[in-house]
Amino acid sequence: MTVAYGVKGGVYVNMTNRCPCSCMFCLRNNAEGVYGSGSLWLEREPTVEETIEALKPWLEKGVDEVVFCGYGEPTERLDDMLAVASWVKAANPSMRTRVNTNGLSDLINGRPTAAEFVGKIDVLSISLNTDDAREYLEECHPKFGIDSYEAMKKFASDAAKAGIDVVMTVVGEPVTSRAKQERCREIAESLGARLRVRPYEG
């Protein structure tokens, strides 16, 4: 099972396949993995120790970033993920750490969580997807319902206020029109984040 795999100079970490969403555009709908990773479907979730062991060769080889991403939502294992991130920072304080997330950590974990990332995670990449809560619900089908969009934005705002570099993402045209991208940019900036438009990969 693939727990750590290389992408463009960084190492990506896959600790869970759990996710509270079922996005229309999820890569998992069509592929076993990404960037030659092999299958990212886990037979079982790796322990913190197993994840660290999987990471060690990559850190020894020399990578510029550790990204908690997964084939699932990494904050489903928030405590374990942050334990691994703490180990990374202790082993190599200058290593950049990032989490690619749907931003629903507070709903998943039942508490405000942004402050817990401080000192362990440098960058949060949060899928904003759209400027509209109902559209978000229809595209991502979060199990928490219509409140999910506002909860995701609050998490982003809390994280930015706590000093984390927050990047919110949308997919470019033709999925997201130029006008909608601009509205998303305004939303991201109002939360203290910046917007990144990801290229549409059809």
Residues that bind ligand SF4 (CB under 6 A): 19, 21-23, 26, 28, 72-73, 102, 140
Q: How far is the CB of 90 from ligand SF4 (least distance, A)?
A: 28
Q: How far is the CB of 72 from ligand SF4 (least distance, A)?
A: 6
Give the residue from 155, 163, 67 showing the smallest Cα distance to 114.
155
Q: Which is nearer to ligand SF4, 27 or 115 (CB)?
A: 27
What CA–CA distance (Å, rounded) separates 149 from 118? 23
Q: Which is nearer to ligand SF4, 25 or 58 (CB)?
A: 25
What CA–CA distance (Å, rounded) separates 106 from 79? 13
Q: How far is the CB of 168 from ligand SF4 (least distance, A)?
A: 14
Read off the DSSP letter of residue 161: H
Task: Residue 93: count other Cβ atoms within 10 Å of its Cβ.
Answer: 7
What CA–CA distance (Å, rounded) separates 131 from 182? 9
Q: Which is nearer to ligand SF4, 52 or 76 (CB)?
A: 76
Q: Which is nearer to ligand SF4, 18 or 183 (CB)?
A: 18
What CA–CA distance (Å, rounded) separates 121 from 55? 16
Give the residue from 148, 155, 152 showing the smallest Cα distance to 113.
155
| Cα separation of the two ends of the chain | 27
Q: Which is nearer to ligand SF4, 51 or 75 (CB)?
A: 75
What CA–CA distance (Å, rounded) separates 186 from 179? 11
Q: How far is the CB of 140 from ligand SF4 (least distance, A)?
A: 6
Q: How far is the CB of 83 from ligand SF4 (least distance, A)?
A: 21
